[in-house]
Amino acid sequence: MKAFGSWEAVLLSLIVLLYAGFGAGIDGFLSPYALADSTVNISERAVIALAMAMLIIAGEIDLSIAATMALASLAMGLAMQAGAPLPAMFAAGLATGAACGALNGWLVTRRGLPSIVVTIGTLSLYRGIALLALGDQAITGYPDALSTLGNGTLGELVGIEGLIVPIEFGIALLFALGVVVWMHCTVHGRRVFAIGSNPLAARFSGVAAGRYRFGLFVFAGIAAALAAAMLTGRIGSTRPNLAAGWELDAITIALLGGVAIQGGRGSLVGVMLAAVLLGAFTFALAMLNVPGIVVTMIIGGLLIAAMVLPRLLRRRAEGVA
Amino acid sequence: MLQLRGIAKRFGPTQALRGVDLDLVPGQALALIGENGAGKSTLVKALTGVHAPDAGEILLDGQPLRFARTQDAQAVGIAAVHQETVVFDELSAAENIFIGRPPVKRVAGLRIVDWRRMEAEAQRWLDAVGAGFSARTPTRDLSIAQRHQIEIARALSMQARIVIFDEPTAALSRAEIDDIYRLVRQLKSQGVAVLFISHKFDELFAVCDRYVVLRDGASVGSGDMASAGEDELVKLMVGRAVENIYPPRHRTPGDVALRVAGLSHPTEFDGLDFEVRRGEVLAFYGLVGAGRTEAMLALMGLKPEATARVEIAGCAVDLCDPAQAIAAGLAYVPEDRRGQGALLDLSVRTNLTLPALAGPRHGWHGRLSSGPWLSATRETAFAKGLIDRLRIKAASDDIAVGSLSGGNQQKVVIAKWLGLHPRVVILDEPTKGIDVGAKQAVYELIEDMVRQGLAVVLVSSELPEAMHLADRVVVMRRGRIVARFEHGAPAEAIVAAASGVAAEAAA
Amino acid sequence: MKRASVLLAVIAVIVLAVGWRAPVFLTLRNVLDIANESSLLAILVAGQAVVLLTRGVDLSVASNLALAGMLCALVGKAFPGAPIALLLLMGLGAGALLGAVNGVLVARCGLPPIVVTLGTMSLGRGAVYMASGGAWVSEQDVHAGIKALPRAELLGVPMLIVIAAVVVAAVAAWLRWRPAGREVIALGNNPDAAVYAGIPQRRRLLQVYALSGALAGLVGVLWVGRYAIAFTELAAGYELTVIAACVIGGVSIAGGIGSVGGAMAGVLFLGVVNAALPVIQVSPFWQQAIAGAVILLSVAVNAGAGRKSRLPILERSVP
């Protein structure tokens, strides 16, 4: 449960290499404005990837997290249409996210169902509800304050000229900090690692595994709502296919960040670094006009390479097993 | 007929076998004796083609053999009946018997499974071993003894020339064990060579003609069973005289620490009453599957359907939830230390400190954390204390528990509770699968715990262990307590109670 | 079997209920329509069910089918005179190759199937883009033979149904009658024991993923023919529908439990529900939500039934 180990060092070096490499190759890539822009692919995904990572470390998975984002955004939009002020909109989104997570948590902990199948089911259910509510329409007309959340900079918020760090990125960093500290420095985080490593042994040691897992699912729902608020603010509309496919991005970031799919191992610092790396990478490719789908393809390849390489290296180190 | 010369096998840093010689003769049963970790299961894997040895020769009728895969071993007539039954419970008994080599017929040029012939032949073999069930029975409906019968039927159906029995009697009743003896004698009379692995000397003396002793992966002695004495064999196994394995007993029992009345569960056990005093060891003896572990799990709050009246140190305790049981002073060391006791991927320190993270409790006023915040210094100190006290051999407290030896893993699993000064410690098969040196350490630990005034509940299937350590022995069978004995009761009586056979008059 | 009968009963109830409201639902034509609509799903489900039985999962079926379909569409466009059998073989071959990649990564490198197929899914999708350059193969360019095949009939039964029936029956027969098929079931039931039983684990796993891929390839060609179009996002997200049908049909995601027949009940269920919705004038937007709810229900029900019944230790009679 070390927060910063050798893999994190590798990720950090890759980030530096990436910025240096693309900076040399692309004009203006290293300009402050481009750097700030490059975080656009990082912030929202980092939030859900961190929550996903916590669940994977605990031995579970949540494939419905992006669909939860859509529902949370829908709740915000409906609240807005009902005339609610911004704080109430946020509340509606967070409550919806929490409820979605609670359903997952209840089915997994109280009914003992495997999380992969449950969240495949809730993924369809939540997207389906969004489809039912909106059909092929979109909700637009969000207040300016929300747009500032998604597109504005910290400088605008506190009145400092030249502080062009996007608000979203600031939120993501704060969120990451909170998650890293909770998982790596507190008793609770230690227990989550134990649950993922061996749920039965953890229970025998007095860890309330069910309660922690339920809480992590609810937390994932809340994280989804936070990401949804940021995304909705940034693009200014709610559609049923909001964040479609983002659950795969979240898993990819978590795995590239060094979280073991079997659970019990990983660093949340690594996950944040992987989010930065991947976000910057996709941003750079977009600047180079590489089509989105090819980017996805490269990410798929990276995911496999990230899995295969450690095993090959370990096998060589151990000799014939 | 089958000769092994100088078999060696290494797994990474561990040299599992370092020169094994043995001879199997048709019509004779050879006992393979050795402590756990001596290399017996590795040897079986080498013989059945699961692993190829790094060095040495396997000669069948003088011809050297090389097994690339398990079918090669089967092809020359080597079959094994394993301790953990190797069956597929979604398949029928017939299919299990012929797994990997089903009878086939050709239809339109394609090989397809001949179900009728398979079921008919399987039934023949099942009848030959005295199994009373149909070959079409889904295996998931069968008991452990019946699954063993499938494995034996499988071995017979392979027309094996060599049959290996690997600890086949762990879960069997007296009658079923006699069946195994009958089968072994039958095989011998048919000219089959039998390799019989067991750590129960009475079984070995009952059916085996010769013996080979393995110690630390090498064969260290062999001879005729008829002229061998148990002490001599144990000395070969262990490398030194064994009277010292059990530490001297000092018992001054105190007040009742745990009182249980009416511990019941709808399907697993009923009406269990017992009490344990401080400074006392209460052993629960019985066959595998008697319900002892289930009863202990219920005490720990892991069986919501169980009911009981439980008092710890005079205070009533509810059975809802492990945290409560732990807070009340119960500690449970599970039977399967790898699967249930230890977090193998996590460090020694993390394992040792896990239960203690919850903070102070009745016997322990320490705190490993300040509020929710972990403290590396306190954890390290706590862990070091336990590592020193139990002499856990680990390169550092940071290495993964999975890389420790079985004995040290067991020490970690026990140690994490001792630091909390529990009132009652339940040890479930604590010496299963660990070598003699580590066993001795565990027994010393138990005496240590008793001296400190802990109440110890020892669930054990090893009669000598239960008899030596316990002040009282409670025998369970099929979910109920069937007998209680004081220290010094005769072994035959205890075993008879566990197997459900009326005690025979002492010979 | 009990689970399958419950599902069939539910399907019968739905059919009768809808049929009572709208008798046209009970006509033979409608039944054939439902079967036709479900046939491509049925073929994919047959392959996925086998993968699930081995404790694996194949998330790349949709992208594999799109890639195989696009490749055949491109070849068909370039060679309009090519025999259809050749194109079908190409599809099968391309799919099998893609499946084999999954198989090698899972069986030889020992990687978890969910991660592997997540990766190959993205790789496959990107490959479709690269092969087509992002352009669509539109109706007039799709090979005439491929277009005609799904519309052909054999003895009055639409070709797709015939092909699906043959494929599903073949897979089910393979699992039941071929030694290799029995080994696959054993493998999923108890992978540790499989070693002792001499089951060639790696080879079987490779075969299973190659099978799933080959069937995806076949469906790719048929899909392109049926909808007379090929484009990058073809069948995007369809892998979830495939898994849904398996789960609803009682195939356990943990492996070892379930059958092709049961999975077909799941296909039938989805087919009937999707057909029923427009008939009872429920917006098609309900489909996904219903599918999700049904998955949750099925898993909850199957988990209760499938929980390994421990032999009761306690004897009710006096010992």
Q: Do the Cβ atoms of B70 and C313 come within 8 Å? A: no
pLDDT digits (tens, 9 = 90+) for B163-187: 998 887 766 777 778 888 888 888 8
Mean pLDDT of B389-415: 85
Give the tokens for residue C305: 């039934």
pLDDT at A287 (0 to 100): 85
Q: Do the Cβ atoms of C189 and B265 come within 8 Å? A: no
Is residue A112 within 8 angstroms of chain C, CB to CB? yes
Mean pLDDT of C287-301: 85
pLDDT at C317 (0 to 100): 43
Residue B446 sits in the same domain as residue B398: no
Q: Do the Cβ atoms of B345 and A197 come within 8 Å? A: yes
- Among A68, A248, A293, A314, the residue to mutate for chain C (most C Cβ within 10 A): A293
Give the tokens for residue C247: 């789960």
From the list B276, B261, B275, B317, the residue with the least C-alpha distance to B450 is: B276
pLDDT at C316 over 70: no
Question: Is residue A251 in a domain?
Answer: yes
**Residue in chain B lying closest to C257 (CA):** B90
Q: Do the Cβ atoms of C295 and A121 come within 8 Å? A: yes
Residue ranges making up the domain that contains C266: 2-302
The answer for B 235-274 residues in CB contact with A (under 8 A) is none
pLDDT at C81 (0 to 100): 85
Residue B60 sits in the same domain as residue B198: yes
Q: Do the Cβ atoms of B344 and A197 come within 8 Å? A: yes
Is residue C119 within 8 angstroms of chain A, CB to CB? yes
* Position B449 confidence tier, pLDDT thresholds 50, 70, 90: confident
pLDDT at C275 (0 to 100): 85
Structural domain count of chain C:
1
Lowest mean pLDDT among B98-107, C3-12, C202-211: C3-12
Give the tokens for residue B399: 């290495």
Distance (Å, whole) CA C72 – CA C56: 28
* Contact by Cβ (8 Å): B6, B206: no
φ, ψ dihedrals at C133, nearest 5°: 65, 20
The CATH number linked to A57 is 1.10.3470
Q: What is the share, in percent, of chain C residues with pLDDT greater than 90?
A: 44
Mean pLDDT of B210-232: 82
* Contact by Cβ (8 Å): B320, B301: yes
**Cα B186 to chain centroid, rounded:** 27
Mean pLDDT of B201-207: 83
Distance from CA of A1 to the nearest CA of B (A): 8
Distance (Å, whole) CA C32 – CA B455: 73
The CATH number linked to C97 is 1.10.3470
Q: Which of B407, B422, B437 is the last residue of a domain?
A: B422
pLDDT at C25 (0 to 100): 82
Of the candidates C178, C189, C311, which has its C-beta nearest B90's C-beta? C189
Phi-psi category of A241—alpha, beta or left, where left has phi over 0 and alpha has psi -120 to 50? alpha
Q: What is the share, in percent, of chain C residues with pLDDT greater than 70?
A: 94
Q: Which of B363, B392, B422 is the last residue of a domain?
A: B422
Distance from CA of B409 to the nearest CA of A (A): 13
- Residue partners of B399: CB distance under 8 A and separation at least 6: B347, B348
Of the candidates C177, C193, C311, which has its C-beta nearest B86's C-beta? C193
Question: Is residue C181 in a domain?
Answer: yes
Question: Is residue A313 in a domain?
Answer: no
Of the candidates B88, B99, B480, which has its C-beta nearest C319's C-beta? B480
Distance from CA of A179 to the nearest CA of B (A): 14
Mean pLDDT of A44-61: 96
Of the candidates C127, C129, C296, which has its C-beta nearest A121's C-beta? C296
pLDDT at A44 over 90: yes
Could you report the predicted ipTM of this complex, rounded to two decimals?
0.85
pLDDT digits (tens, 9 = 90+) for A277-313: 999 998 888 888 888 888 888 888 888 888 887 777 7
Annotate B10-29 with b (16+ C-beta within 10 A) or e (fewer): beeeebbbbebebbbbeebb
**Which range, B327-331, B380-384, C101-105, has the best average confidence (pLDDT)?**
C101-105
Residue B66 sits in the same domain as residue B189: yes
Q: Which residues of B touch C307 (CB under 8 A)?
A: none
* Contact by Cβ (8 Å): C18, C276: yes
Q: What is the share, in percent, of chain B residues with pLDDT greater than 70?
A: 94
Strand boundaries in A97-216, DSSP class E = 139-140
Residue ranges making up the domain that contains B459: 254-329+423-507
Residue B269 sits in the same domain as residue B295: yes
φ, ψ dihedrals at B193, nearest 5°: -90, 130
Residue B435 sits in the same domain as residue B416: no
SS3 C201: helix
How would you class C269 by CB atoms within 10 Å of its CB: exposed for 0-12, middle for 13-18, buried for 19 or more? buried
* Contact by Cβ (8 Å): C190, B89: yes
Q: Do the Cβ atoms of A187 and B369 come within 8 Å? A: yes
Within 10 Å of residue C168's Cβ, how many Cβ atoms?
Answer: 23
pLDDT at B503 (0 to 100): 41
DSSP calls for C20-54: HH-GGGGSHHHHHHHHHHHHHHHHHHHHHHHHHHT
Question: Is residue C313 in a domain?
Answer: no
Distance from CA of B289 to the nearest CA of C (A): 7
Q: Which residues of B touch A264 (CB under 8 A)?
A: 343, 345-346
* Position C128 confidence tier, pLDDT thresholds 50, 70, 90: very high
Q: Do the Cβ atoms of A128 and C289 come within 8 Å? A: yes
pLDDT at A196 (0 to 100): 94
Chains touching A by CB (3 or more pairs below 8 Å): B, C
Of the candidates C115, C125, C299, which has its C-beta nearest A296's C-beta? C125
pLDDT digits (tens, 9 = 90+) for C41-83: 999 999 999 999 999 999 999 999 999 999 999 998 888 888 8
Of the candidates B326, B334, B357, which has its C-beta nearest A187's C-beta? B357
Kindly tell me the number of DSSP H helices and DSSP E strands found in chain B.
16, 24
Is residue B112 within 8 angstroms of chain C, CB to CB? yes
The answer for B 428-457 residues in CB contact with A (under 8 A) is none
C-alpha dihedral, C194 to C197 to C200 to C204, nearest 10°: -50
How would you class B223 by CB atoms within 10 Å of its CB: exposed for 0-12, middle for 13-18, buried for 19 or more? middle
Residue B283 sits in the same domain as residue B174: no
Is residue B11 within 8 angstroms of chain A, CB to CB? yes
Question: Is residue A26 in a domain?
Answer: no
pLDDT at B507 (0 to 100): 34
pLDDT at A320 over 60: no
From the list A44, A48, A42, the residue with the least C-alpha distance to A61 is: A48
Q: Do the Cβ atoms of C199 and B50 come within 8 Å? A: no
Average pLDDT, chain B: 83
Within 10 Å of residue A231's Cβ, how many Cβ atoms?
Answer: 26
Distance from CA of A195 to the nearest CA of B (A): 9
Residue ranges making up the domain that contains A171: 6-15+38-303
Mean pLDDT of A85-101: 95
Is residue A246 within 8 angstroms of chain C, CB to CB? no
* Contact by Cβ (8 Å): C268, C180: no
φ, ψ dihedrals at B138, nearest 5°: -65, 130
Mean pLDDT of B335-349: 86
- Among B14, B335, B345, B397, the residue to mutate for chain A (most A Cβ within 10 A): B345
Is residue B92 within 8 angstroms of chain C, CB to CB? no
Report the half-sphere exposure of C73 (CA within 13 A, side-chain side): 33
Residue B136 sits in the same domain as residue B193: yes
Average pLDDT, chain C: 87
Is residue A177 within 8 angstroms of chain B, CB to CB? no
* Position B243 confidence tier, pLDDT thresholds 50, 70, 90: low
Structural domain count of chain A:
1
Question: Is residue C315 in a domain?
Answer: no
From the list A195, A186, A179, the residue with the least C-alpha distance to B375 is: A186
pLDDT higher for B385 or B248?
A: B385
Residue B140 sits in the same domain as residue B281: no
pLDDT at B422 (0 to 100): 87
Question: Is residue C202 in a domain?
Answer: yes
pLDDT at C103 over 90: yes
pLDDT at C319 over 60: no
pLDDT at C309 (0 to 100): 45
- Residue partners of B321: CB distance under 8 A and separation at least 6: A208, B301
* Position C142 confidence tier, pLDDT thresholds 50, 70, 90: confident
Structural domain count of chain B:
3
* Position B504 confidence tier, pLDDT thresholds 50, 70, 90: very low
Residue B112 sits in the same domain as residue B227: yes
pLDDT at B314 (0 to 100): 79
Is residue A147 within 8 angstroms of chain B, CB to CB? no
Q: Which helix (H) or strand (E) holds B140?
A: none
pLDDT at B392 (0 to 100): 86
Question: Is residue B337 in a domain?
Answer: no
pLDDT digits (tens, 9 = 90+) for B424-438: 999 998 887 676 667
Q: Which residues of C touch A308 (CB under 8 A)?
A: 105, 109, 111
Q: Which residues of B touch A185 (CB under 8 A)?
A: 373-374
* DSSP assigned state of B430: T
Q: Is the pTM of this model over 0.95?
A: no
* Contact by Cβ (8 Å): B397, B387: yes
pLDDT digits (tens, 9 = 90+) for A260-270: 888 899 999 99
pLDDT at B505 (0 to 100): 36
Mean pLDDT of B448-476: 88
φ, ψ dihedrals at B224, nearest 5°: -85, 140
* Position B198 confidence tier, pLDDT thresholds 50, 70, 90: confident
* Contact by Cβ (8 Å): B35, B201: no
pLDDT digits (tens, 9 = 90+) for A182-208: 999 999 999 999 999 999 889 888 888
Distance (Å, whole) CA A1 – CA A188: 12
Q: How far apart are the first and last CA of chain B?
A: 39
Q: Do the Cβ atoms of B373 and A193 come within 8 Å? A: no
Question: Is residue C312 in a domain?
Answer: no
Is residue A68 within 8 angstroms of chain C, CB to CB? no
Sheet with B269-277, strands from edge to edge, namely: B269-277, B256-265, B307-312, B315-317
Give the Å distances, CA to CA, from B55 to B5, B34, B51, B196, C203: 9, 21, 12, 24, 28
Question: Is residue A21 in a domain?
Answer: no
The CATH number linked to B503 is 3.40.50.300
Lowest mean pLDDT among A64-78, B141-155, B229-243, B290-304: B229-243
Of the candidates C186, C308, C314, which has its C-beta nearest B291's C-beta? C314
pLDDT at A180 over 70: yes
Is residue A204 within 8 angstroms of chain B, CB to CB? yes
pLDDT higher for C134 or A75?
A: A75
**Residue in chain C lying closest to A298 (CA):** C123
Give the tokens for residue B444: 């010393």
